[in-house]
Chains A and B, each alone.
Chain A
Amino acid sequence: MKNVSITNNIRKLRFNSSEMTQQELANKLNVSRQTVIAIEGGKYSPTLELAFRIAEVFNVPLEEVFQFHASS
């Protein structure tokens, strides 16, 4: 069985975007700050729609925000 993990660069992207706070990102995405914290910490995998919206906020491709790792 394959172990699947999804990592993200949201924290790095936030700091590169003039040190955007989690609350500011949450407001732009129309989700709670707790959800942003959970996504950043890898405790919640967002839906495809939210993932694309996050990429849109930072104006980068989706692969730059999320990375998919599969290992057997």
Chain B
Amino acid sequence: MHVNRERFTKGNLAFSLAFFVSFLYEIFKSPDFINSYIFTLIYFLGVLGYIVGTVTQLLTLHFTARPKDINVDDERDKFIVSKSYRNAHISTIVLVNVIIICFIFYNKTLQPAFFFNLLLGTLLISHIVLVSTRVFYYKRGIQ
């Protein structure tokens, strides 16, 4: 039994993009939305759902597949994952630095909720970079 990591990654990308679009919609719909804590709750429920989904997938594999047949990630998967994590890490660092610069120059004029939104957006963008570069490497190949 082998997990089709490519298909799983495409599903993950679609979910992440949908989540990011809903995030942008809520932010631009109402700047005070974040103060109601509803979006924060949805955001963390989304993150929790992702973690629970991943753990469930691994537990299902653990209990249903025969031990010698378990081959969740082979060396190509691991290589692609490591390269995509590097890309996501770089994008996180760049975006967090942008937020810090914004905070230094605009901390008097902008509300803390704005920076919180930026931080949530950064984490979402990094996740999208992570998954989309993974899809890209699966499609184009990796040397």
Question: Which residues on A are within 8 Å of B, measured CB to CB?
Answer: 26, 30-35, 38, 41-47, 50
Contacts and interface: CB of A to CB of B under 8 A. Distances in A.
Contacts of A31: 71, 74-76
Contacts of B140: 43
A35 B76 contact: yes
Interface residues of B, number: 14
A41 B71 CA distance: 22
A30 B74 contact: yes
B74 A32 contact: yes
Contacts of A34: 4-6, 76, 138
B67 interface: no
B143 interface: yes
A44 B71 contact: no
18 contacts: A26-B2, A31-B74, A32-B2, A32-B5, A32-B74, A32-B76, A32-B77, A34-B5, A34-B76, A34-B138, A35-B76, A35-B77, A38-B141, A41-B141, A42-B141, A43-B140, A44-B143, A50-B75
B142 interface: yes
Interface string B28-57: 000000000000000000000000000000
